[in-house]
Structure formats: structure tokens, C-alpha cells
Amino acid sequence: MLRIAIIDDLSADRAVLREALERELAPRGAAFTIEEFASGEEFTAAFVPRRYDAAFIDIYMGEVSGMEVARLLYHRDPACRIIFLTTSQEFMLESYAVRATYYLVKPFAEERLRQALDFCFPAPDPSDLLTVPTKSGVQMLSRREIVCIESIARHGVVRLCEYSIESAATFAELTAPLETDNRFLGIGRGILIQLGHIAAQEGSDFIMDNGLRLPIARRCRSEVLRSFQAFALREMERGL
């Protein structure tokens, strides 16, 4: 699920962008939601980290400018892609300071919007997809989105951040392609987690970033915690 915010004090411009986004996103096959904000103040009042995947921000607004909104996202939600909307290129250099993904000058051509979306949401590498057979057909999921996979009633259930998918395959069949992917780790019988989605460890449980609490089996607890610590260290070194 792609979550997109439009922050612009002109209702007509928000409507134009929403319609263009809906036309461009629908053929890409991904579910999406779009929320509109009429000012920087309205957005900052409702701001919650990790709520949006991308924010389209008008630079010229009221008391809270688009650049201030972008700085908030840069410091508190760096994973959110920033796309500036403006009528001039005056702030283009400043946009690099907040790692803006794209800069759309109004009125924009849809080809430019398409390019912005390609930068924000590049097509996944086929090797990073997991084939999930379901009763209604086959779904292709990005492995990055998978929080965990559980064995429930002899079937594998894939947990994502906001919803779950019940597979028609067994847990073993579903998780076999992930055995060589070092992002995934079994923490007990019928539970495979993605290490990057761990939000916290509390005692013998992992708290995942979708709020799910998963127990670490006693028989493999020491090994699991060592693997998690090694992963966390690698991620820390990568960020330095």
C-alpha cells in the first residue's frame, strides 16, 4: 500500500494533482491512498512518522512553508520521499539539503509526474519478489514489505505492515525461496521474520513495526539474538 500526502494551500492544484496521481498509479497495480492537506500547519499538526511513503509539497504556503515541512520530514521521517511543487526554481538548491526526490514546476506535464513516481517507487528487482499463491490467484510481493510469515492452519500467512495475505501454499513451500536471504530469520516453529522490521525486543519477544508481538523459541533464542545483533551492527555501519 502506497501512502501519499498532498500539501498545497490551493484546492484546485490539489485536485489536479490527485487526479493525475490516480491516473498514473492505477496502471502500476499497487494499492494506494492519497490524503490532502490545505496548509503546512494542517500537515504538521497531523504528522506521524512513517505514515507516508511520499509527500508532494507546495513550497509557497502560509506561516509554515513547504521548505519547513520538508525539513520536518527530513529530520523525523527520512524514508518519506519529498517532491516539491512550485511555480519557480528559486528553491531548487535548498531542495538538495532535504534530499528532495523531485522538483515539479507548475503547471507540470504528466510525463514529469510519471518520472517523479519512477524515482520514488522504482520497479522492484524481479529477484526481490516473492510469489504468493492464493485462492484468488497469484500475488507478487516485494520481499522488503514482508514483516513476517507464520504457519496457521497448515498454510503460510504473510504479514505486511497494514494487512495480511493467506497463502494457498504451506509454510515450508512459501518460505523455501527465502532460505538464502539473510534478511529473514526463523525464530521458532512456523515463524519467519524479516530482521529489518523489528521495532524492539522485549524479553523473549520481538515487537515488529506493525505492532505484532512474536515469541522467540527457547531452543534457538541465543542464536536468534546473536543474528539480530549482527544484523543491527551491519545496518548501523551502513548508515555511518
Give the pLDDT confidence of 148-178 residue by residue, as tens digits.
Answer: 999 999 899 999 887 899 999 999 999 999 9
Residues 6+ apart with CB under 8 A from 131: 138, 139, 140, 177
- The answer to whether residue 75 scores a pLDDT higher than 60 is yes
The residues pairing with 5 across neighbouring beta strands, listed in sequence order, are 35, 55
| Grid coordinates given for 228 | 539480530
- Annotated domain spans of the chain: 2-120, 126-239
Is there a shared CATH topology between the 2-120 domain and the 126-239 domain?
Answer: no
- The answer to whether residue 214 scores a pLDDT higher than 90 is yes
Contacts of range 124-132, beta carbons closer than 8 Å, 24 or more positions apart: 130/158, 130/174, 130/177, 130/178, 131/177, 132/158, 132/165, 132/167, 132/169, 132/174
Homologous superfamily of domain range 2-120: Response regulator (3.40.50.2300)
pTM here is 0.57
Phi then psi for residue 23, to 5 deg, are -65, -40
For 21, other C-beta atoms within 10 Å of its C-beta total 21
Q: Give pLDDT tens digits for 105-156.
A: 888 899 999 999 988 887 777 788 899 999 888 888 889 889 999 999 989 9
Is 157 or 91 the better-scoring residue by pLDDT?
A: 157
- Between 52 and 29, the higher pLDDT residue: 52
pLDDT tens string 51-66:
899 999 998 888 888 9
Phi-psi region of 142 (alpha: psi -120 to 50; beta: other; left: phi over 0): beta
Contact assessment for residue 39 and residue 58, using Cβ atoms and an 8 Å cutoff: no
Cα–Cα distance for residue pair 224/24, rounded to 1 Å? 42
Does CATH number 2.40.50.1020 belong to domain 126-239?
Answer: yes
pLDDT of residue 240: 44
Q: In this predicted structure, what is the pLDDT of residue 142?
A: 84
HSE of 194, CA atoms in CB hemisphere, 13 A:
19
- pLDDT class of 97 with cuts at 50, 70, 90: low
Q: What is the pLDDT of residue 79?
A: 83
